[in-house]
Amino acid sequence: MSDSQVHPTAIIDPKARLGSGVVVGPYAIIGAEVDLGDGCRVGHHATIDGPSKIGPRNEFFPYAAIGFKTQDLKYRGEPTHLEIGEGNTFREFSTVHRGTGPEEKTIIGDGNLFLAYAHIAHNCIVGHKTIFSNNATLAGHVTVGDHAVISGLSAVHQFCRIGAHAIIGGCAKIVQDVPPFLIADGNPAVLRGVNHIGLERHGFIDADIKVLRRVYRTLADKTLNFSQAIEKIEASDDAPNAHVQELLQFLKSTQRGVIRPEPLAGS
């Protein structure tokens, strides 16, 4: 706890470990088996429970509730874990739960932004630099790829996967996988096309975006079933593209199926 600033009203369990330069605000609570990395900031009335291993420079805003036991009714009190990388922001009333089974983990990467009331359930895996808008909700065992955006009031069913650079629209209901680079929107959600603006913002060149749009048109071709669409993409001149390969790998590894694609306007 060297160089840390802990408000006198905060409660720190003796079994917690605070790194250097940690700031803990009034009435915050840090429970046993919490390992809080250097430079973290814990706002007033925020609560962190353990076992939780938290990297450096994370910020927890007031009333965030991090590392509590799962809400899964199968949980029987076994030791479970939460791992958080570095540089994440957890805004007011955001919640993150530990895993369910013995020694299972919920894992969050680096540089993510969780806005107010966002919820990450047990056994989820969240990559790097994602954005969860207000009230975005993951059920258990969901995987979210890097740079994905989960918009406000949207909900993702358990065991679904959200691919890298995908975006989910506000108030969406996600019950199957959302492939990388694409847009999902609606209730129930459908695929709406390529996340063109998001890809541009992350440095994708125009040629690669055009390739992904061509591939999407094949996916959305209503004369093809899912397997036929994959076969046609694999046989196309676009198949060697690295982003197309990532998309194909995602499609072929789906367990819950992929959200239905809608044709692009003008297709």
Q: Is the pLDDT of residue 135 over 60?
A: yes
Q: How far from the centroid of its chain's Cα atoms is residue 223's Cα?
A: 34
Is the CB of residue 157 less than 8 Å from the CB of residue 140? Answer: no
Per-residue model confidence (pLDDT) at position 2: 63
Residue 1, CA distances (Å) to 9, 47, 61, 144, 226 in order: 16, 18, 20, 33, 55
Contact by Cβ (8 Å): 204, 164: no
DSSP 141-173: T-EE-TT-EE-TT-EE-TT-EE-TT-EE-TT-E
Each residue's pLDDT tens digit, 141-154: 999 999 999 999 99
What's the CATH number for 5-141? 2.160.10.10
Backbone angles phi, psi at 12, to 5 degrees: -115, 120
The residue whose two tokens read 């910020």 is 59
DSSP helix, strand, coil percent of the chain (3-state; round to 5) = 15, 30, 55
Give residue limits of the domains in the chain. 5-141, 201-252
Taking only the tens place, the pLDDT of each residue in 173-189 is: 999 999 999 999 999 99
pLDDT per residue as tens digits for the range 190-232: 999 999 999 999 999 999 999 999 999 999 999 999 999 999 9
Question: Which residue is it, tokens 């359930």?
Answer: 121
pLDDT at 266 over 70: no
Mean pLDDT in the chain? 96
| pLDDT confidence bin for 1, thresholds 50/70/90 | low
Name the nearest CA neighbour of 133 among 165, 175, 163, 168: 168
The encoded tokens of residue 220 equal 């959305």
Query: For the chain, how long is the longest CA-to-CA vector?
Result: 67
Give tens-digit pLDDT for 44-89: 999 999 999 999 999 999 999 999 999 999 999 999 999 999 999 9
Residue type, 45: H
